[in-house]
Structure 1
Amino acid sequence: MDRYVICGGERLSGQVKISGAKNAVLPILAGTLMTKNAVLKNVPNLSDVAYTVEILENLGMNITRENDKMNIINSGIVNTVLPTELCSKMRSSILLMGGMLASAGEVTIPYPGGCSLGSRPIDIHLKAVEKMGVEIAESSKGIYCKVRNLQGTKIKLPFPSVGATENIMLLGTLAKGVTIIENPAKEPEIVDLQLFLNKAGGNICGAGTNRIYIEGVKKLDWCEHTIIPDRIETGTFMTMAVATGGELFIESTEPKHLSATIDIVKKTGAVIKINKNSLYIDAPEKINAIEKIATNVYPKLPTDMQAEIMAMVLKAKGKSYISENIFNGRNKHIPEMNKMGANIIQIDSRHFEVNGVDNLVGTEVEATDLRGGAGLVIAGLSAEGETTIKNISHIERGYDKFDEKIQAIGGKIYKV
């Protein structure tokens, strides 16, 4: 099993180019099940993308890749049962439900895997597609879904779930009539999915607002689409710059997609200068603690930045308080950070007090999820001595050439 070995204490400086967004490309790949053919650009090289491509090929798709460009030929779905082994490795396999039902009329989905972050029920997905005319049967092996009468309808989500919003958008695109989603997720990745589907012939409007309106069409055609930059990767390198006392020019990004993250990082005393598709960050001499850090749905601070921001303030002057308002299990990185000399008090499963310390000390820790693993990398880069991070397969699910990008800006990190 691969691991990272980090020799901490280096000040990071230089340029970083941001890759395409993991959370944008995965639902768009699901959408290619409904198109004739597609060309995707700025596709990140991630294990989750590789797993999804394997699943699509198993279903009958022909996919080739050259660097960050992916050519997808859809000659027809030949299999409606998703492979258990691949689906068990990633939570986003549930996104294939909408695309498969819209294109093939049925699908059997093993229960998805991915990061263990506490309660992440898929009932919200199932209730939505049932309302659109899909019959569902569950067993110990997974979920069998079959279209009886695919019909657009009005769906008000009890929570603005990103995945559920995407599944409804996919299914509604080829449903009869009109589908309206109230209280949808508003993330930039939702807007990117709308743009992709509309390029292929869909008729969707309202992504990024309180209501999405989908007028069903009979079929989708060919399209070419460029995946938006990864706002979480951008935020990760911002927090890394602060934690290491560094200075970075981050290019090929969309600063407008991470306003809440920028606002939090600025509170450390960092200087941030924003351009259209890039930003500059210069760390403060001493990191200010942040009195209130709270994750929430977009456009507020993303839960995917919680662990990285926590790592950023481990050596801050004073106490920082973090509230995790999305996932009640997003706290497994805390004992690992404390092994390194951090002083984090877990008040309960969602509320944490970070007491700044003078130094962190490298040791052996384990990544238990994607973003927690990224937080451990940041902590290791800002620690004294050598840090070994085990189980980095979690990290590689969401970061393209992470170690190579860090090496290019002066970090001593090695994959062994």
Structure 2
Amino acid sequence: MAKSTEVTLKDFQRLEYVQIAPRGALVAISGRNAQGKSSILDGLEATIIGHNKRDVPRPVREGQKTAEVVNILDNGMTLTRKYKADGSSSLTGKASDGSKVAQATLNGMLGSLGMDAGAFSLLDDKKQLAVVLDLADLPFDPAKLATDQKAIFEQRTFINRKAKELEAQVARYGDLPPAPTAEVSVVELAEEIRAAEQVERKQEDDHAMLVRSNSELDRLNSEIQRLTAQRAIVESDLDSVRQIIEGHEPLPDIDALRERMATAEETNRTVRTAKEKANLVFQLEATQDQAEGLTKQLEALDKQKADGLAAAAFPVEGMSFDEEGVLLNGRPFRKASTREQTIASAHMIIASNPELRVMIVRNGNDLDSDGLAELEALGDAHDFQIFAEFVDESGEFGWTIEDGKVA
């Protein structure tokens, strides 16, 4: 772990010459506006992270040809950033044994958020969420969980749409009249009618035969003497015919069969309609069961996420997230107060556990006394050195900068 023991800035931006030997967790840089307070934080950052031409377009104080910022760390490193009037710069880093310290080495000593406590607040929602997920110890994969939820939700939407369509189709049938469980076989019914007609014709023929036999008997009786022998034969035939007639089956109700034949198609249409409705009801119930199952899957994923968030170790108390971004005490991070954002961002830098324990806070005036005390306590608790800029005209608060010098 490393912190600054001495920072010297000469002709850098607004500063003529400033030398600070920071002590304690909170290093307050105070003074009136436009006196060079921000220049100290810019110079400190330039020795560690590198020079940013956009943030510091004119690093050399007006009227001077060169500028220099020297940052001595308690691990024996000395970092020197030199500037020329044209804005070009170079970094010379030396370790305690005299070996060179490259920018890559310094980068490796920093966490993913660098050293500016305001950096996290400037990220968009998705990048903030990525940082939090990288630092938080979650018992589940948020990306996979979100993908699973989206897939099941889309599937359930499709199933519910299908269920609505089936409901509309079922509703069109309305209340159907009672119907047999099976359709009437018109072929079988026609066969029954043909068989009954054959029986009817045979019985009519038999009755006609009886009439003819009786007539013949009457005729023969009138000639009995002459036709005795023939009469015996006819009587024998008559007895046979009687036996046949006595053995006749009851005549089927042909009219009833014809009536059934006339209503068969209507009956069958009712049976088919009832089957169609029953099939749609079956599909509807199956679809609704499927949608209910998918809903339970979504509820299970929601519970997994809720349980995971409850058990997760976030770098900041009250921090969580949803599909849109980072939350702080249940509200979007960007809706939190500047004080809350600053303290939370400081927590985030600390959670990245960098080897270089130096942090800068540019908006110190947005912290009230409680926020300032919390920031200092945070530095003490985690062995961090926090350089914070404040507008103060009393000259009694921290390192007071006036006209580019320490007052």
Q: TM-score, normalised by structure 2?
A: 0.24
Q: TM-score, normalised by structure 1?
A: 0.23
Q: Which structure carries more relative contact order (alpha carbon 8 Å, separation 6+)?
A: 2
Greater share of strand: 1
Q: Which structure has the larger Rg over C-alpha atoms? A: 2
